[in-house]
Amino acid sequence: MSHPTLPAEAPVRFMQLRHDDLRAEAAIEPEQPSGAPVTKATQIIAIYGKGGIGKSFTLANLSYMMAQQGKKVLLIGCDPKSDTTSLLFGGKACPTIIETSSRKKLAGEPVSIGDVCFKRDGVFAMELGGPEVGRGCGGRGIIHGFETLEKLGFHDWGFDYVLLDFLGDVVCGGFGLPIARDMCQKVIVVGSNDLQSLYVANNVCSAVEYFRRLGGNVGVAGMVINKDDGTGEAAAFAANAGIPVLAAIPANDDIRRKSASYEIVGRPGTAWAPLFETLASNVASAPPMRPVPQTQDQLLSLFSAEATGRDFVMEPATTFDMVGRHDAIRPSLEVVYDAA
C-alpha cells in the first residue's frame, strides 16, 4: 500500500512558519510589573552581589534592625561559603542544612528545625551550605537545600520577612533559582563603585528581565551601595537601570573594624542606627521594578577611559603574528551555496 508523500520543500516551509511564530511571540512586550506595595503576608527577598562586596555584613545588620523594630525575620545564607550568619552569631559557624541532612541520613535520623535554625535577639538564621571544594555543584547544593527546607515546612512558617543571601553568579541555575521559579517577590542588589560589582549587579538585572519575558513576576526593588567612597558610579548605574538606591553605606574605618570583630553596627541607639533604620524601611516598602539591563559599553561609560582602557583601539591579528610567515591564500574547495 502506497502512502502519500509531502513535497520536499514542505519541512522547510513548516520550520520557517514555526520560526516566524516564535519571533512574533518573542517580540511581544510583557506587562509592566505592579508598582503597588507587596501585600503577601511574608515578603521573601533575595539579595545578590559579587563575592566579598558585603552582602553578609549588610544582611546581618539589616535583619537585626528589622527584628528590633518588631518584625519576625528569617535570614537564610545561600552562599556555599556558609558565612552569612557568622557576623550575627559572633563569628561562630552555623551547622549547614546540607551537611546536617547528610549526617542525619547516614544515621537514619530525620532533620529537625533545632538542628539547623538558630536565633539571636529575635532574628532566626540558617545556612544552606554547599559541597566541599571540587566535589560538587554549588547551585545543585542550593536546590537540595531548598528541597530540605520544604520538607521542614518552609511554606507554613509565619515570618514577616525571609531574607536570602545569594552569590550574584546567576548564570548558574541554582543561584538564579529564586528569580527563575518566582521563589521571592523581589530582588535587591548590593554593589560598590567598582566595575566588577556593577557587572554582577547588571547580570542580576538581566536575569530578572529574562524571566519577566518568560512570564515571571520577580522584580528588582533597588540597590544597596556598600563601601561607598563617593565617586558615584554605583548611583549612576542604579539611575540608568531604573532602580532606586535603598541606602549608601560609607567606606568607613569604624564600620570596617567593628564588622571585622563580628560586631553588629546596626543596633538601635548607636551611631549607625539611622542608616539601617532607613534601609529597613526602604527594603520593606520598595516595590519590585522591572530593571533596564545595561550593555557592556554602557557599564564601561560609568568609569573614566583611563580606568577601563575604553579608549584603546583593537588591532586585528594576522597570520604572520600566529605562525611567523606569510602563507599564500589558497582557494577553498568547499561548495558555497547561495542563501535561500
Residue 210, CA distances (Å) to 44, 171, 216, 280 in order? 20, 12, 9, 28
Question: Is 11 part of any domain?
Answer: no
Question: Is 191 part of any domain?
Answer: yes
Contact 60, 76 (CB under 8 A): no
Question: Is 5 part of any domain?
Answer: no
> Residue 47 phi/psi, 5° resolution?
-110, 125
Residue matched to cell numbers 537545600: 145
Q: Is 169 a catalytic residue?
A: yes
Q: Return the closest-CA partner of residue 283 out of 47, 120, 41.
A: 47
Q: Return the closest-CA partner of residue 128 out of 107, 154, 108, 158.
A: 154
Cα(311)–Cα(305) distance, integer angstroms: 6
- Per run of 10 residues, the mean pLDDT along the chain (length 340 residues) is 52 55 55 48 91 91 95 88 85 86 88 90 88 62 78 86 85 77 92 94 94 93 96 96 97 93 92 96 95 93 73 81 76 69
Contact 77, 167 (CB under 8 A): no
Residue 265: CATH number of its domain: 3.40.50.300
Question: Is 127 part of any domain?
Answer: yes
Domain residue limits at 285 = 47-304
Q: Which of 83, 115, 160, 169 is catalytic?
A: 169
Question: Is 83 part of any domain?
Answer: yes
Question: Is 59 part of any domain?
Answer: yes
The pTM of this model reads: 0.78
Question: Is 258 part of any domain?
Answer: yes
Q: Is 50 a catalytic residue?
A: yes
Contact 105, 148 (CB under 8 A): no
The number of beta carbons lying within 10 Å of the beta carbon of residue 78 is 27
Cα(47)–Cα(223) distance, integer angstroms: 9
The tally of domains found in the chain comes to 1
Q: Is 72 a catalytic residue?
A: no
Res 21: pLDDT:
60
Cell of 109: 535520623
Cα(92)–Cα(217) distance, integer angstroms: 36
Question: Is 24 part of any domain?
Answer: no
Q: Which of 81, 83, 115, 194 is catalytic?
A: 81
Q: What is the DSSP string of 265-292?
A: ---TTSTTHHHHHHHHHHHHHPPPB---
Element (H, E) at 172: none
Res 159: pLDDT:
93
3-state secondary structure (DSSP) of residue 75: strand
Contact 225, 215 (CB under 8 A): no
Q: Which of 50, 186, 227, 258 is catalytic?
A: 50
Torsion of CA 214, 219, 225, 231, to 10 degrees: 60
Residue-level length of the chain? 340
Residue 245 pairs with which residues in a beta bridge?
223
Q: Is 92 a catalytic residue?
A: no
Cell of 237: 548605574
